[in-house]
Amino acid sequence: MSHTDLHDLSVAQLAAKLAAREVSSVEVTQHFLGRIRQHDSLGAFLATDAEISLAQARAADARLAAGERTPLLGVPLAHKDIFVTRDFPTTAGSKMLENYRSPFDATVVARLGVSSGAGMVSLGKLNCDEFAMGSGNDNSAWKPVQNPWDTTRVPGGSSGGSAAAVAARLVPAATGTDTGGSIRQPAALTGITGIKPTYGRCSRYGMVAFASSLDQAGPMARSALDCALLLSSMAGPDPDRDSTSLDLPALDYATDLIAASAATTGTTPLKGLKIGLPTQFFGAGCSADVLKTVRGALAEFEKLGATLVDVSLPLTELSIPVYYVIAPAEASSNLSRFDGVRYGHRAAAYTDLTDMYKKSRSEGFGDEVTRRIMIGTYVLSHGYYDAYYLKAQKIRRLIAEDFQKAFAQCDIIAGPVSPTVAWKIGEKSDDPVANYLADIYTLSSSLAGLPGMSVPAGFGEGGMPVGLQLIGNYFKEAQLLGTAHQFQLATDWHLRRPTGI
Amino acid sequence: MALTSQDISRVANLARLELRPDETEHTLRQLNGFFALVEQMDAVNTEGVEPLAHPAAVLGQVALRLRDDVVTETNQREESQKSAPAVERGLFLVPKVIE
């Protein structure tokens, strides 16, 4: 196989070639660095450094030469710029953190990395909405990201750089973070696969904090199997670093999937699986092309033996105000650390300390971040806390309880990820409420802390990808990945690629 | 209940943000649009419902872990201060706060 084809290989295939010593990690890394340079205009990357990536690749090759055979050794990836890294700058997509260098690696970065982890080589840092706030990646302070399927459209957000890079085959896999849909929605809009695990599955240590009770890391790749390979290394307790990380060991998600593909070919592998369809996810709010594609995918699941049942999540619409009270409240608290003293932007001229805080913060934060800090500060301020924040946290419990009632009737919940395919860059940029409304199908499971996936399901308006959302009960990542894997064994939507890339 | 431009100024001060006059107007309009959406929450009866902070608490108590009270960090002052805007002799510099 020529090197020009390396970018078409999956994580699993690249790992196999590396393990067989058919190709070195340095060769693979050089190839992908070339792809990244070639497609720089997509705006997917915020930082690359060939020397550092190649040094990591040499370290991986040394481990391979010493006989080590682990599932991800030597395979490259890139990290969303929300994860702090020692080797690359970290900006969280914000001018506030221009030139910031973290003294440490995020736990997820360390677990996947070469020096103390699974042996993956980092190709750099991926563009995202500023502090992960946005759904089109047009809130990045640096540059917008283009959707490889149509470069006049957004890739989704906030993990838009991760999604575009995977879809354009600039990386075989990437990390993302999801607070209200930021892994699932860009995965859907770019035709790739992504999973947001149960809240607490992956350590939040070293993820620049947005909304601490919602933020969760997850992998983005082209298939469920590749996501399973990454998640097996990313997940697991981090007792000394993240007090909200769950005391549950990571599972070997991939081995089960590989065993399942061998065992069930040509049968009805999903026999007995009940898929619940929330009536609220299939209403007038969803555009016809997305609904048609999602229903087509669900018909495929029926062919594989699954049964479809109607369920109800009556508070779905309420998840929008509840989320947009809770997330900004937590953000306003988290982002108070950016004061121009210990790190981050400091204004050039000011009169006193308070003026320095105000000028530094106003210059450093973009419009959407400022707006959310304002909302959050207001809902937490004296006299409004009960009416807004506490009220939202109570409805949050009701939303989570509704999911438990639904899961009494089904194993997995399915529906669209986004009510439309990717929109044109700039189309919604000055209408925050319109952006918030488009998050409707991802917010409720985020508030409940449930694991959710986006799986490529076909194409809608303008030939743009559509994602099917699968939501599992707590800790059921393996079931989600297994179900998606069976769908991907029977269909080839996840193998389709944008033309001209 | 609509916000006023005084509310915007008060909140901006609490958040240590400085908005230009044209930004204040714009922010006021956008926040009022947003709070119209938030009013939907009033219709939900939440009497006797406990607020939910850690999502997995829906399944039962989530224990707050305690770790051993031992020193685990090494001194990384220099690396930590590398990205600071103004440092002198290992100290963060700020404008004078005490006359």
Q: Domain locations in chain B?
A: 1-41
B1 touches chain A (CB under 8 A): no
- Distance in angstroms (rounded) separating the CA atoms of residues A353 and A333: 19
Q: How confident is the model at residue B1 (pLDDT cuts 50, 70, 90)?
A: low
In this structure, how many other beta carbons lie within 10 angstroms of the beta carbon of residue A292? 12
Active site residue A80: yes
Nearest residue on chain A to B56, judged by CA atoms?
A: A449
A427 touches chain B (CB under 8 A): no
- Distance in angstroms (rounded) separating the CA atoms of residues A40 and A161: 11
Of A10, A25, A53, A80, which is the active-site residue?
A: A80
B92 touches chain A (CB under 8 A): yes
Per-residue pLDDT of chain A (501 residues; tens, 9 = 90+): 566 699 999 999 999 999 999 999 999 999 999 999 999 999 999 999 999 999 999 999 999 999 999 999 999 999 999 999 999 999 999 999 999 999 999 999 999 999 999 999 999 999 999 999 999 999 999 999 999 999 999 999 999 999 999 999 999 999 999 999 999 999 999 999 999 999 999 999 999 999 999 999 999 999 999 999 999 999 999 988 998 888 888 889 998 888 877 765 568 999 999 999 999 999 989 999 999 999 999 999 999 999 999 999 999 999 999 999 999 999 999 999 999 999 999 999 999 999 999 999 999 999 999 999 999 999 999 899 999 999 999 999 999 999 999 999 999 999 999 999 999 999 887 788 888 889 999 999 999 999 999 999 999 999 999 999 999 999 999 999 999 999 999 999 999 999 988
pLDDT tens track for A102-159 = 999 999 999 999 999 999 999 999 999 999 999 999 999 999 999 999 999 999 999 9
Interface predicted TM-score (ipTM): 0.95
Bin A299: left if φ > 0, else alpha if -120 < ψ < 50, else beta. alpha
Report, at the CATH architecture level, how domain A3-260 is classified: Alpha-Beta Complex (3.90)
Of A25, A102, A122, A182, which is the active-site residue?
A: A182
Inter-residue contact A25 to A74 (CB < 8 Å): yes
Bridge partners, A424 (sequence order):
A153
Length of chain B: 99
Nearest residue on chain B to A361, judged by CA atoms?
A: B17
Instruction: Tell how strand A274-278 and strand A412-416 pair up.
Output: parallel
Inter-residue contact A418 to A460 (CB < 8 Å): no
For domain B1-41, give its CATH number from 1.10.10.10, 3.40.1350.10, 3.20.20.70, 1.10.20.60. 1.10.20.60
Task: With beta carbons under 8 A apart, name residues in chain B contacting A381.
Answer: 11, 14
Closest C-alpha to A4, from A193, A23, A416: A23
Helix (H, G, I), strand (E, B) or coil at A139: coil
Report the Cα–Cα distance between both ends of chain A, in Å, rounded: 19
Residues 348-407 on A with a CB inside 8 Å of B are 350, 352-354, 356-359, 361-362, 365, 370-371, 373-375, 377-378, 381, 388, 390-398, 400-401, 404
Task: With beta carbons under 8 A apart, name residues in chain B contacting A382.
Answer: none
Cα separations in angstroms, A83 against A23, A90, A193, A235: 29, 7, 20, 15
Q: Is the pTM of this model over 0.90?
A: yes
